Each structure stands twice: as C-alpha cells, then as structure tokens.
Amino acid sequence: ALFSDFSFFLTLGVRTLLPVLQVEQYEISTKSPNHKEVTWFQVLLQNGNSEQVTVIFFIYTGSKTHLYEGDITPKRHRNAIVCPFNWCFWPKSSNGLVVIPYVISSSYTHEEKALIVGAIQEYETLICIHFIDRTTETDYIYISPKDGCWSYFGKVGGSQVVSVRKGGCMRKGIIQHELNHALGIANNLGLKYDYSSVMHYHRFAFSNTSGKRFGLSNLDVAKINKLYKCGIHSTLLSNVTGSFSSTIYRSSYPKNTNSVWLIRIPANKIFLQFNSLYIQSSSDCASNYILVYDGGSRRDTVFLNKLCRPKHLPSVVSSGNMMLVDLVSDGTALPKFKASYSSGKSPVSPSRPETMSDNFHLCLRAVDDYFKSNAKQMKFKMFEQ
C-alpha cells in the first residue's frame, strides 16, 4: 500500500525519535529464501536543522529492534547518515592510535569468543584501531548475543551494544561489519565499490542462510584509514599465489613507518619466498627490519625476527592460511624487498642452488604438530627443473 501526505512520529519503545514528514512506501510480508518474513518501510525524515534524508528501516524475524540498512539501530535524536563535526567517531590518542575498550558477553562459548577476538585483532594488524579489554572505562563496546546482527552507528557513549547473535551472525566478516558501523562506517566514503568488502550485504544477508565472510577487504581498510586518518600502510593479499614488494621512495622511507602485508587465503598453508632484499644496515637491525609472523596477528609466533641483512634469501612455510609481513623503518634507510608466495599441501624446496654437490643436505623446520608427529612418514622426490 502507498501513502502520501501522512504525518506521524516514529517511535522506538516509548521514546520519540524523528518527526516523519511523509511515508513514501510501505510493504509487508517480503519472503526471504528460507521463508522468513521481513517487514520494511521507507520514510522521509526531518531533523532539527530541517535536513531531510530518506532511510529504510527493516524489522526482520528474530529481532524486535528497528534497524536502518537492516543492521544499524538509530539512537534518539540521531541522524543515521550524517555525523556532523565528527562527534560520532572514537577519539584518537596522541600516539595516533584509536583505542576502544570492549567487553565480550560471558554467554558466548570459548570457540565463539575466539572467533570474535580473531575478528578484532585484524583491526590492530591493519589499521590504527586498537580494541582493548575494558577495565574502568565509561565508554566501551559490549559484544552480546542479542536479537540479530546489528550495531549503533558511531560512538554513542556508555555501554554500547554490538549484537552478534549465536548461529547466523557468528562469521568473522559479519562481526567486522557490525564493528565497522560502530566505528562510523555507513558508506564507501567516495571510494570504489567492492563486492569482497564486509560492508557488502546481499539482499537476504540477515537470513540464516547468510554466507561466510573471510574478513576485511582492502576497501574496508582504506575506508577506516581514511575516516580516522591512520598512518599505517597495509595491504591484504587474498589470491592463492602472488607477489609484493616494498614501496621505493626517492630519498627515504617515511619516518617511523610500519608497512604490513597480510596474506590471507581461504585454505592450505602459505609458502613465502623473498626474491630480493636490501635494508640499510643498523646496529643489531634495531631501526630498519622485517618481521614475519606465522599467522595474521603480531601476537602470533615470529618466523623471521628483525630481518635486515641475511646471508641467504629466506623462505618460510606457515602452519595455517595466514601470514603477516611487517616492515619497520625509522626513515633513515631505503628498505627494498620483493617476495612471492603460493599455497598448497605438499612443500617444494625453495631457492635450491643452481648446482648441488653429491653430499647435499636439506634442512626442514617443523612448523606444526602434524609435521613433528609424522616426520618419519615424509617422502621426498628429486626432480630436474
């Protein structure tokens, strides 16, 4: 049914929100693929400054909360699109980090908490957003299994709920989608559209058949870096094979710069090979160096620690589907490197010499318990290349 010139007040609970000027469209009983009923309506709102904005509120099965774009719940006297004077952004510290205290509900299992923590740690790796365990802070994010997947838009103050329902919402990318809303992300910020973004929800994304997401995309990282003016240079590599290199500056690398490359593939192990490497020498590699982690976080095991002038170009094999390369520079050097990676289940010896003697020795490093317990069962095949 269509209505026009019909004024009323939209309410959430007993609180009056914004005066509705005109109902543009109203529809009920829209069926999703799993036959869940979705009620939605589009309205034209007006705030105190007479600024008009069209928004869509959804009410979907399993949630009694009024939501914008299906998963943003509006705060009283808040425009869910506009953030004037950046008042809905989380503050940045003097060290350039945006520190956000958080609490995870005790209702989650150990496995569910680990999934949430893994989603949170990716921000710390790629962006200047650092989530910390709340102690006594007044403003913090409370991640709780409420009635669906939703979040407030931006910082609202106090205990701010991010709802991650058990079951359908427990996906890494969906958790990050809701956290992005809490950071103030609601559109592409003038950047190109990216279907791999965790912010791209398909038509029935809030049904129980919602697809898995692997995590933040390069566009997601660029959005937050732009919004919070982060100084981190970060790149996500998600193809099963690829190559990457340091950015070469004419004079020197920017002072106190961290550049990171996160290799994150859907499955299997990662084989990383440095093809060239030059980093100006410093005492004990203290100022300019490369770190390689066996995983997607700086909290994971360090594969290569403060690499700056190796005798041989190194290669490593991950124990899982993620590997982090971190280039640290104080701006006094010209760090340059090129590296390539591939994925698979059966390792091939990298960087073998052009000529090998009769007494050639191959040293293997056990990277996980599987290789340690099955070392006697490993077979090798020599081949010409």
Taking every pair of Cα atoms in the chain, the longest distance, rounded to a whole number of angstroms, is 90
Nearest one of 153, 3, 4 to 67, comparing CA atoms: 153
d(CA 71, CA 181): 9
Q: Which of 24, 178, 354, 384 is catalytic?
A: 178
Active-site annotation holds for 178: yes
Contact present, 198 and 216 (Cβ < 8 Å): yes
Three-state DSSP state, 117: helix
- Report residue 52 as tokens: 């008009």
DSSP string, 322-363: EEEEEEEE-SSS--EEEEEEEEESS----S--SS--TT----
Nearest one of 194, 227, 200 to 123, comparing CA atoms: 227
Three-state DSSP state, 121: helix
| Residue 41 bridge partners (DSSP) | 26, 57
Q: Please list the active-site residues.
A: 178
